[in-house]
Amino acid sequence: MTRKDSDSKASNRLEFIRDAHNVRKMGRTTRMEDYLEVIYELIQHKGYATTVDISSYLNVSSPSVTKMLQRLNESGHVNYEKYRGITLTESGMTVAKSIHHRHGILAEFLKMIGVDEDTANRDAEGIEHHLHPETLKKLEEFVSRVKSQGLAR
């Protein structure tokens, strides 16, 4: 490989890194998605979500949770009234279910290749926001194919 080819690949790689950090999905940030996911999981598990629970699971201060809930309320993803509780709107539920689905596919794939369940879930949490939809689709097809052939661990 020539120096020019190496420099070109490095430049392309830098552009991919920049682009990955500038992606905003329909006005949502990765952090917003984390909040929606936690709210969804709490509601599934407990039947409700509180700012204290969200603060605990995301390891952030209560004022930070309140500020993000106000942003999510303004963006139409949650219904939030101070001291009244938190519910996901239809769009918030759609986003949360999508994140939940992405996480499941990634965790399942990682377990298929021999990663233990805790590590698979931890890693899926870090990856789930950054996959291109086409990559996720191909990964889902792969997981499905492997499971249908009975080759999954």
**Are 50 and 119 within one domain?**
no
Rg (CA), the chain: 19
Residue where a domain stops, chosen among 70, 88, 106: 88
pTM, rounded to two decimals: 0.77
What is the span of the domain harbouring residue 139?
94-148
Q: Which of 88, 107, 125 is the last residue of a domain?
A: 88
Please check the confidence at residue 153 and state whether its pLDDT lies above 70.
no
Q: Are residues 7 and 79 in the same domain?
A: yes
Number of domains in the chain: 2
Q: Identify whether 31 is part of a domain.
A: yes
Confidence label for 14 from pLDDT (cuts 50, 70 and 90): confident
Could you tell me if 92 and 78 are in contact, meaning their C-beta atoms sit under 8 angstroms apart? yes
The answer on 42 and 26 residing in a single domain is yes
Burial of 102 (0-12, 13-18, 19+ CB in 10 A): buried
Asked whether 78 and 89 are in contact (CB, 8 A), the reply is: yes
Query: 77 and 122 share a domain?
Result: no
Q: Does 55 fall in a domain?
A: yes
Inside any domain, residue 52: yes
Q: Is residue 153 part of a domain?
A: no
Q: Which of 37-41, 50-54, 72-76, 126-130 has the lowest mean pLDDT?
A: 126-130
Residues 73 and 2 in one domain: yes
In a domain, 65, yes or no: yes
Element (H, E) at 128: none
Residue 86 three-state SS? strand
- Residue with more model confidence, 109 or 6: 109
What is the C-alpha separation between 87 and 138, in angstroms, rounded? 32
User: Which pLDDT tens digit goes with each residue over 95-135?
Assistant: 999 999 999 999 999 999 999 999 999 999 989 888 888 99
> CA 32 to CA 89: how far, in whole Å?
14
Domain containing residue 124: CATH number:
1.10.60.10
Residues 28, 8 share a domain: yes
In a domain, 73, yes or no: yes
Are residues 76 and 126 part of one domain? no
141 within domain boundaries: yes
User: What is the enclosing helix (H) or strand (E) of 116?
Assistant: none
**Arithmetic mean of pLDDT over the chain:** 87
Whether residues 28 and 84 share a domain: the answer is yes
